[in-house]
């Protein structure tokens, strides 16, 4: 629990590093992260993992001013050669967040539906982004 609090505080202190953290820790280890979210028998591990990932995503959204608008991302993707390097990087970061959330949604009819009572942390992540963004 203490490590997750330290990680969340570090991410808050250096919001520009949140996207690097997300890419290197969450996105590149997505199967392991999803395993922790969904199948880890230890509720505290699920909770701490969820809280760190939530904090990271919230910081990226706030720091970069993302809206998680899929249609806007598609439009930008069509004009990829017109984007500045900064816009391209931001588009890639926002796209990775959207893909992560879509991946979580994809687990609803399978793993989550089978064992929905132990997925409070899973639903916590989805509810925040479904209703607030």
Q: Where do the structural domains in the chain lie, given as residue ranges?
A: 2-132
Work out the burial of residue 42: count CB atoms within 10 Å of its CB; fewer than 13 is exposed, 13-18 middle, 19 or more buried: exposed
Which pLDDT tens digit goes with each residue over 64-119?
999 888 888 777 766 777 888 898 899 899 999 999 988 888 877 777 666 666 66
Burial of 113 (0-12, 13-18, 19+ CB in 10 A): exposed
Query: Over the stretch 16-49, which tens digit does the pLDDT of each residue have?
Result: 999 999 999 999 999 999 888 878 888 888 888 8
Q: Hey, what are 14's tokens?
A: 């250096």
Sequence-separated (6 or more) residues with CB below 8 Å from residue 1:
44, 48
CA 111 to chain centre: 19
Helix axis angle, 30-38 to 43-64, nearest 10° = 130
* pTM (2 d.p.): 0.80
């Amino acid at each position: 629990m203490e490590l997750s609090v330290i990680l969340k505080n570090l991410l808050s202190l250096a919001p520009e590093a949140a996207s690097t953290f997300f890419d290197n820790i969450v996105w590149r280890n997505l199967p392991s992260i999803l395993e922790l979210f969904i199948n880890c028998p230890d509720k505290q591990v699920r909770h701490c993992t969820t809280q760190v990932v939530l904090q990271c995503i919230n910081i990226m959204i706030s720091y970069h001013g993302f809206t998680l608008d899929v249609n806007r991302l598609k439009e930008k993707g069509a004009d990829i050669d017109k984007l500045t390097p900064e816009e391209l990087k931001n588009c890639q970061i926002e796209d990775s967040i959207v893909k992560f959330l879509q991946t979580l949604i994809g687990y609803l009819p399978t793993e989550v539906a089978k064992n929905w009572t132990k997925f409070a942390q899973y639903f916590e992540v989805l509810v925040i982004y479904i209703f607030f963004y």
